[in-house]
Amino acid sequence: MKKIKKEKIWGKLFEVTVFLKGLEGAIEIISGALLVYTAKTDQLTKILLKITEHELSQDPSDFLANKLVGIVENMHPGVSFGMLYLLFHGIIKTFLAIMLLQRKLWAYPLAIYVFFTLAVLLLIKFLTGLAPLYLVLSIFDWAIGVLTIHDYKRLKARMAEAK
């Protein structure tokens, strides 16, 4: 009885984290699409200056506003590659999340590879830039990778029992 309850908890935890991964991917798709289709570097600079104008007029040394303006001003026209990367990255994650939630057996090994690869890349990004968000995202990708392995084994065992 305890084993069944434990498996249900694992299953629900897996579903919630995969749903969140899909949601993260959907946000990346929307962000990437908006950036690709609406923002050119000079337009992005104008938009950001308009947004931060009030804050900078009150406090010209505002760290966050100045940092954002600096980032956008230092962008080069090749920034569209990053925008496209964000868009396709989101598509891949959302697609994998949908396939995992539908329990498509073939998607599990691919998703495990993608999640652990992303975790390593984000950890490297954290170690080189020390941005805490990269560490949090790396831990999330690692955790979802482990949960995916667990659910894959569980799904394969169920299929073997059914035969």
Average model confidence (pLDDT) across the chain:
81
Tell me the per-residue pLDDT of 80-100, one tens digit each, with 9 for 90 and over.
556 666 778 889 889 999 999
Of 9-13, 16-20, 45-49, 105-109, the range with the lowest mean pLDDT is: 45-49
117-148 in b/e burial notation, b at 16+ Cβ within 10 A? ebbeebbebbeeeeeeebeebbebbbebbbbb
Tell me the per-residue pLDDT of 29-79, one tens digit each, with 9 for 90 and over.
888 777 766 656 566 667 767 777 777 777 778 777 777 777 666 655 555
E strand map for the chain? none
Bigger pLDDT: 74 or 14? 14
Query: CA 13 to CA 100: how far, in whole Å?
Result: 13
Contact 29, 87 (CB under 8 A): yes
Stretch 23-27: mean pLDDT, rounded?
Answer: 90
The pLDDT assigned to 39 comes to 59
Bigger pLDDT: 23 or 118? 23
Of 9-18, 46-55, 103-112, the range with the lowest mean pLDDT is: 46-55
Instruction: Measure the N-to-C terminal CA separation of the chain; round to a whole number of Å.
Output: 23
pLDDT-derived band at 116 (thresholds 50, 70, 90) equals very high
CA distances from 25 to 6, 73, 145 (A): 29, 27, 15
- What the block records as the tokens of 40 is 């050119």
Contact 110, 96 (CB under 8 A): yes
- What the block records as the tokens of 104 is 């498509």
